[in-house]
Chains A and B, each alone.
Chain A
Amino acid sequence: MNQSGNVPRSRLGSLVLIAAVLGGGAAVFAYTAGWFSPGRLSPERMIAALTPPSGAPLGHRRNHAKGICFTGVFEANGNGVELSRAKVFERGSYPALGRFNLGTADPNAVDATVRVRGLGLQIAAADGEEWRMALINPPVFAVSTPQAFHDLLIASGKKDPEAMKIFIQANPEFAAFADWAKTAPWTASYTEEPYHGLNSFIFTDAKGGDHAVRWSLLPTVQPVPVSLAELEKRGPDFLEQEIVERVRTAGPQRWTMVTTVAGPGDPTADPSKAWPEGRRTVQVGTLVVQRIEQERDGPCRDINFDPTVLPQGIRVSDDPFPAARSSVYRKSYDLRAAEASDYPRTGTARP
């Protein structure tokens, strides 16, 4: 710095420099933390947008708050190994843990009022690796970007009917989801639903080849369409009661896992865009749901179905949603873990 000890830097100048380093360091730190950027889409803002006017569902997931746990196995048929070297695709049976749920922030929602049904799943490979995912029943996601999802939550929460119109004008991709929501038949059972991963991931095969894929769990029972009016008569929790009863009387329930391989130029960064019909599909195995357990003290309660918990052989693509979901799910997990006393593990009454 200074060339020789003979030219003493002024004391004042040194103090100013020290203060500048400290102040600058603290300011850059605060900027990085987002304290000067209220416009940045943070997990906190996304969770604030999810929170219903009645208040946060303390102790529960901030979205898909109502659900029921299951355990079972994923039976891999071995066909998946041509696409991915992930161990869970090697022919065999792997422990599975999951949760049927409703796309609502209200853990006490009436089942017939919720259009989107979901399934969270964790498959454990023999070597300790885990594959977690969270799927929903619409065939496309509602919007193209996490920011648009935030805007959708804000617009749909407003009383002003113009808010949704303005949102749809700005996000025309929403039409495909809206069409599904209006026209797709309702069913009276979690077992009659398909569950779609929607987000694109990259499978890497044993030779190092990459394949952009999406996956779905397709029901093996024939869906029976039921009118919404009929569902409204069945009570607030008919989905949970139905699956408990069905597994008790009919035994394990199954879904076929189908992976779809993207064609050249298919959009991988936009889950609101379906890939064209006729894309190559590979049936990689069967999810077998063997046992249903109440969420309150069930094994899925403390699992964050973060879709970026992936085994070697599967990684995220340029789809922006898995990172956003990971970030927001983590925050949701931190919150509900800290609020566990608001949702005690024992006790019979719903909160």
Chain B
Amino acid sequence: MSNAPHRFALIQRLLHWLMAACIIAMLFIGVGMVSTVAQTYLPLILIHKTLGVTLLVLVVIRLALRLHYGAPPLPADLPPAMKLGARLSHLALYGFMIVMPLLGLGMLWAAAYPVVLYGGIRIPALLPQSDIVHTLLWNAHFYLGFAFFALVLLHLAAGLFHALIRRDGVFDAIALLPLRDRTPVE
């Protein structure tokens, strides 16, 4: 175990925590903005759209890094069920990261809304206006948003479980700073 890389590359760890903060912000902005008629609605929806497209770009970079660097192995003593759960939940997390911005863009296109991001950047429409497509994508974006949040909570719980209870190095693999004063890193 000491010979295998036990941590993700620094760029992967940085991207993980940056995206974590942005995704949590996105989920909160999403449910907050649609529940208000206050003036904050407009800046919130602008941030939501801009950050969503940014996250779509970041997850592509992230996947490329993952393919290039790989991931540290899970602890050998982790029960098979937990290993499977870890793999499936990570697949689902990546899936949400890719699908959510695409659903968001698609539902705006299908509603014939111009997609204008911060700074006046416009994303051209790739779908024609359609009530049926809009409704389908809107529902998917809305309900998957809650599923995404639930999965983020589960992921957080698992991370804390590894960090606080199992103390098996899984959390250290993604932590920006070492949890224990084991060996100084970097």
Contacts and interface: CB of A to CB of B under 8 A. Distances in A.
Interface in A42-86: 42-43, 46
Given A5-B167, A304-B113, A323-B41, A34 B153 contact: no
Contact of A43 (B34, B39, B120): B34
A32 B37 contact: no
A222 B135 CA distance: 44
Contacts of B157: 18, 21-22
Interface in B41-56: 41-42, 45
B16 to A, nearest CB: 18
Interface range for B: 35 or more
Interface in A1-53: 1-5, 9, 11, 14-15, 17-18, 21-22, 25-26, 28-29, 32-34, 40-43, 46
26 contacts: A1-B179, A5-B180, A14-B164, A18-B164, A21-B160, A28-B28, A29-B28, A34-B32, A40-B36, A46-B37, A129-B114, A302-B129, A302-B131, A304-B112, A309-B113, A309-B114, A316-B42, A320-B38, A320-B39, A322-B42, A324-B38, A326-B41, A327-B33, A327-B41, A337-B111, A337-B134
Interface in A293-328: 302-304, 306, 308-309, 312, 316, 318, 320, 322-324, 326-328
A323 B31 contact: no
A242 interface: no
B11 interface: no
Interface in B66-112: 111-112
Contacts of A304: 111-113
B141 to A, nearest CB: 11
What 8 pairs across the A-B complex have the smallest Cβ distances?
A34-B35, A33-B31, A14-B164, A340-B131, A324-B37, A337-B131, A338-B135, A32-B32
A320 B40 CA distance: 10
Contact of B153 (A22, A32, A328): A22
A15 B36 contact: no
A17 to B, nearest CB: 7
Contacts of B38: 41, 320, 323-324
Interface in B131-169: 131-132, 134-135, 138, 149, 153, 156-157, 160-161, 164-165, 167
A276 B150 CA distance: 54
Nearest to A3: B181
Interface string B1-43: 0000000000000000000000000011001111111111110
Interface of B: 27-28, 31-42, 45, 111-114, 120, 122, 124, 129, 131-132, 134-135, 138, 149, 153, 156-157, 160-161, 164-165, 167, 179-182
Nearest to B40: A323
Nearest to A303: B112
Contacts of A303: 112
A25 B156 contact: yes
Contact of B160 (A3, A17, A308): A17
A146 interface: yes
Nearest to B135: A338
Nearest to A310: B116
A304 B84 CA distance: 46
A237 interface: no
A94 to B, nearest CB: 15
A232 interface: no
A233 B137 CA distance: 46
Given A302-B112, A304-B111, A146 B165 contact: no
